[in-house]
Every structure is written in C-alpha cells, then in structure tokens.
Amino acid sequence: MKRIATAAGSIALVAALAAAPFFLDAYGLGLMMGLAGYVTLATAWALFSGPTGYVSLATVAFVGIGAYCVAVLNETLPYPLVLLIAAGIGLAVALVVGLSTLRLSGVYFVIFTFGLAELIRQLVTFYEINVTGTLGRYIFLGITPEHIYWQLLALGVITMLLRWWIGRSRIGLALKVIGDDEVVASHVGIDIARTKLALFAISATIMTLVGAIQAPRWTYVEPAIVFNPTVSFLTLIMALLGGATRLWGPLLGAVPLFLLFEWLSANFPNHYSILLGLLFILIVFALPKGVLSFIEWMWRRARSTDDSGART
C-alpha cells in the first residue's frame, strides 16, 4: 500500500515537473534547469560516495568533459551522437581513473579527485592555447531551454530509478558491506575493486551527461567555466545535507541549497564564497549524517521519551 502510494506520488511529481516549462517564465525555467542539473549531480554523486564513503571532488571533471565534448563536436556530428560520445568518453576516463585510484582511501582519494579536476582543466587549457590557438569555444545548437530541462529531468529520473534498483540488488548489498567493513566484504566473496569501479563509472557517466546536456545553455565555453571546482563542492554539500546514503537525501539537500545559493549569489555576490564556506562547515559539524537521519533520530528520541513517560 505504502509502496503504491510512493510510486503514484513519484509519478505525479515527475509529471508536474515535466509540465513546469508551460507555466514558467524564462527565469523560472532557468532556475528549474539548474535545479534539475544539481539534483541529478547530487544523486549521481551519492550513488557512489554514499555507500562507499569515498568523498569525491571529481564531479566537475566529468561535467566539464561532457560540456567540452559538446563544444568540440557540436558542429560536426548530430546531437544525440555527441551525447553518446560524451558518455563514452566520461565512462572511459572514469574507468582509467577508477582503476588507478580506488585503492586510495580516505583523504588521499579526496585530494586525488580534486587534483584530477584541476589536471583535466589545465590539460584542456594547454591544448586549446597551444594547439587550437583559442581558449573559448562557442556552442550554437538549436536546442531550446525547455528541451534541456526535459533532458535533465529524464536523466534525473533515470538516476533516481537506478539508485533505487541498486539499493535493492546484490550490488547494493555489496556496497553496504564494503561501507561497513572491507575485510568482511572480501571474505564473503565480494570483489571490492570491481564493485567500486562499476559504481564510480556509472556515477561519472551520469555526471558527464549532465555536463553535456547543460552545455548548449552556456553558448560560450572555456575551461575556467566548465571546470569550476565550486560545482564539485556544491554537489558534495547538497548530497551530504540531505543524506548521501538515502534515496531521497540528495534531492532533499539539493533543492533548498540550490535555491539558497541562487539567492546568495544574487544578493551577496561579493561574500558568496565566504557564506558558502561557512555553510559547508556548519553542515558537516551539525548534520554529519544528513537531514533525513537527523529527523529520524529526533523522531525516535521523541517516541522513546513518550514511551518512558507512559510507563512512569
């Protein structure tokens, strides 16, 4: 009964979101586009980092790869093919990076992923300056904002469904075991390296697609824009705020934070980074397991005090 209600509610929500462009002005649509992008990124981030506990700052590396693929190929190839190639390149990079780094743990992985995004950005800059001779590229595609929004929405829904499915599958269980105790995981027969690599690759491919889909919106693309590390930090903090181990966590974290950042950047453009940093610290200290876990904890505590009150 509850599952049917959740499913019906989800379908109604998606339908309402899909119809949104018909009721919104240009600013509203832009907001929804950004929102759909970040919800998808945060959900994709949590797909890998939630259960494994590997904090990745490589989000923007993949977003940027996706955007650059579109920038480079949009004049020569049809759009769907460009998306496919972008996904393929994202997947390939993720596999190479994953194979070489998933042995790292804790803070080393964090630093590596942060460095990776910078490395790719510098490589692209170097290539553009020394080989092609221009830094920026233009994207002229006849894709309307509505279409971008619908594509992002579809990708977001697929990502959510994928996470839901993984949560119920053997891979999901394997990830939970890995998150709890890697020694036990390997001793019950779980191939830790392969499981992590698969999830990292799926997550990265989705991030690449987010970048590729969003690219036409920017019209002008250069490395400093598409490889901006703030994207990685925002994604991370959104997923953490909602709760990276929960299915709906990244969504619940991304929506309020995105709106807040939008408001902050409009009203405090000069202090934006400071406020962002403060918020970051606040969330990590006050809600390390995310809002959903916090609410559950409060709920359980309230109930247990009720019980003891009834007994006395």
Partner 1 sequence: MTALLDIVGLTRRFGGLVAVNGVSFTVARGEVVGLLGPNGSGKTTVLNMISGSLKPSNGDIRLNGEKVSGWPAHRIARKGIARTFQLVRILPSLSVAENIVTALAFRRAPLWGAAADTAARDLLAKVGLGGRGDERAENLTYIDQKRMELARALAADPQLLLLDEWLAGLNPTELRVGIDLIASLRDSGITIVLVEHVMEAVRALCGRCIVMTAGSKIADGATADVLRDPQVIHAYLGASHA
Q: Using CB under 8 A as the criterion, which residues of the chain lie in contact with partner 1 when the complex forms?
A: 170, 173-174, 176-177, 179-181, 183-192
- Least distance from partner 1 to the Cβ atom of residue 50, Å: 12
Between 147 and 176, name the residue whose CB sits nearer to partner 1.
176
- Least distance from partner 1 to the Cβ atom of residue 180, Å: 4
H or E segment and range at residue 269:
none
Between 72 and 177, name the residue whose CB sits nearer to partner 1.
177
Between 10 and 186, name the residue whose CB sits nearer to partner 1.
186
- Least distance from partner 1 to the Cβ atom of residue 89, Å: 30
- Least distance from partner 1 to the Cβ atom of residue 177, Å: 5
DSSP 30-70: HHHHHHHHHHHHHHHHHHHHHHH------HHHHHHHHHHHH
CB 94, CB 201: distance < 8 Å: yes
CB 66, CB 211: distance < 8 Å: yes
Between 169 and 219, name the residue whose CB sits nearer to partner 1.
169
**Separation CA 89–CA 168 (nearest Å):** 29
Burial of 202 (0-12, 13-18, 19+ CB in 10 A): buried
CB 39, CB 234: distance < 8 Å: no
Between 192 and 215, name the residue whose CB sits nearer to partner 1.
192
The token pair at 15 is 């339908």
Between 197 and 213, name the residue whose CB sits nearer to partner 1.
197
CB 172, CB 193: distance < 8 Å: no
- Least distance from partner 1 to the Cβ atom of residue 169, Å: 9
CB 217, CB 201: distance < 8 Å: no
Between 107 and 183, name the residue whose CB sits nearer to partner 1.
183
Cβ neighbours for 186, distance < 8 A, ≥ 6 positions apart = 192
- Least distance from partner 1 to the Cβ atom of residue 303, Å: 16
- Least distance from partner 1 to the Cβ atom of residue 245, Å: 9
**Separation CA 137–CA 117 (nearest Å):** 19
